[in-house]
Amino acid sequence: MSSLQCATTLVLARHGEAEYESSTWEVEGGSLTRVGREQAAGLADRLSGRRVAHVWTSTLARAVQTAEIAAARLGVGVTTRNDLVEFDLGDLAGSPRDTDPCAAPYGAWLAGDLDLRIPGGESGTDVVARMRGVLDEIVDAHRGETVLVVSHGGALRLAVPLLAHLDSGPHRIHNCATIEIEADDDGWVCRSWDPAPED
C-alpha 148/C-alpha 70 separation (Å) is 9
Q: Are 56 and 79 in contact (CB under 8 A)?
A: yes
- Catalytic residue IDs: 15, 86
**Interstrand relation of 146-151 and 18-19 (parallel, antiparallel or unpaired):** unpaired
Query: 123 Cβ partners below 8 Å, 6+ apart?
Result: 114, 115, 116, 117
62 is in an annotated binding site: yes
Phi-psi region of 59 (alpha: psi -120 to 50; beta: other; left: phi over 0): alpha
Pairing of strands 8-14, 178-184: antiparallel
Which residues sit in the known binding site?
62
Which residues sit in the known binding site for substrate?
62
